[in-house]
Amino acid sequence: MIPSRRIFALASTRYIHTTRAMMAESDGLFGKINPWAKKEQTPVQPTTTEEETKVTFNVDYEDAEEIISWKRSDVLTDVDAIETTVKSVIQHHLPQATETSLPLDDLNIKFQILKDSMQQTGKEVPNYQLNQLKTTQDILEFFKGSFDQKELTVETFFEEHKDTLPSNLTFAARE
């Protein structure tokens, strides 16, 4: 026999033996692919159960702290008290101010004066008035002025404009 054939015969038998060992060892050749192949069941191990706390729905909520208003709760109505308060605020922010009518070119100082005046008097400055206050005298006059705004309701509007409104347009009050 030729030595090369002998080596071939030994080599081919070796593959057969290893293939058989592989098939016997791991669920066969198609065992990993076949989903219905029987697999060993792992025994169920008892798990330790911890005592679960009972869920209660009685929850204590903490109320949030009230936000304290930054301005006075009572509004100053006395004209002399308002004038002295606003003048003291102006003197605090503009110590060199001796006149009552000083232009407020620096917006930071203007808004500090307005904020402190609102805090101490309790009166608010509406947004549309901010650009009209250009001097310290304007601020003083604004805070001394009265803020009685006429309350306009639909009923009063209909009564005042009865002549100009169409005749089929009327106001029916709720009962």
Q: Which tokens hold the place of 51? A: 């005592």
User: For residue 171, is it within any domain?
Assistant: no
DSSP assignments along 28-66, one per residue: -TTTTT-TTS--PPPPPPPPPPPPPPPP----PPPPPPP
Structural domain harbouring 85 = 79-144
Q: Give 103's DSSP letter.
A: B
> pLDDT tier at 114 (50, 70, 90 boundaries)?
very high
Q: Any idea what the CATH number is for the domain that residue 132 is in?
A: 1.10.1200.10
Give the pLDDT confidence of 10-46 residue by residue, as tens digits.
655 555 445 555 555 555 556 666 666 666 667 777 7
Over the stretch 71-105, which tens digit does the pLDDT of each residue have? 777 888 888 999 999 999 999 998 877 667 788 88
Q: What is the pTM of this model?
A: 0.47
Helix (H), strand (E) at residue 113: helix 107-121
Distances (CA, A) of 76 to 82, 121, 123: 7, 5, 8
Domain assignment of residue 164, yes or no? no
Q: How far apart are CA 126 and CA 149, in angstroms?
A: 13
Distance CA 171, CA 102 (A): 51
